[in-house]
Amino acid sequence: MTRKAIYPGTFDPITFGHLDVIERAAALYDKLFIAVAKSEDKNPLFTVAERIEMISEAVKKYDNVEVESFEGLVVDYAVRKQVKVVIRGLRMISDFEYEFQMALTNRKLNSDIETVFMMPKDSYSYLSSRLIKEVSRLGADISKFVPSHVERKLRGKKDE
């Protein structure tokens, strides 16, 4: 049996925090699908295609990780992919309430799908895409937070 998992998110853009979770999940599962949600309500800075490109570059060293986009419910996407595990990252207590609600809602929607939480290395536990975009816009050095190709893309956006 191939053990597969989905890691859904907006990834606007991918950070070292996401990559820490990906590394852990890729070591546990035979196949990991990174599923990029459009998240139009979040008004993303990068298009889905740009986000996929940045993730693909960052995960090319893993031969069991695939990147794609999806629309609609995560649980429906999981069924289409024949995957039973959804990976989510847990940073601070502040993530807990929302993630807990979402995991239980997804379980109500489809009780075959299990949510698995992973905690990043402590030094990444404060990283969020939102904050990185904000400090990058204000001119901060973000090389500690994102891979260099993502840093370049962020700088490019600033000049647009």
Q: Which among 5-13, 53-61, 77-85, 105-113 is the span making contact with ligand ATP, rule CB under 6 A? A: 5-13
d(CA 43, CA 59): 25
107 counts as catalytic: no
Least CB distance from residue 79 to ligand ATP, whole Å? 20
Of residues 17 and 147, the one with the C-beta less far from ligand ATP: 17
Name the residue with tokens 């990252």.
89
CA-based nearest residue to 1, from 30, 23, 28, 33: 30
> Maximum CA pair distance of the chain?
49
Name the residue with tokens 């309500």.
41
Set 129, 133, 136, 153: catalytic member:
129
129 counts as catalytic: yes
Span 9-38, contacts to ligand ATP by CB under 6 A: 9-12, 15, 17-18, 21
Q: What is the size of the binding site for ligand ATP (CB under 6 A)?
A: 20
Least CB distance from residue 1 to ligand ATP, whole Å? 25
Degrees to nearest 5, angle at CA 120 with 86 and 94: 80
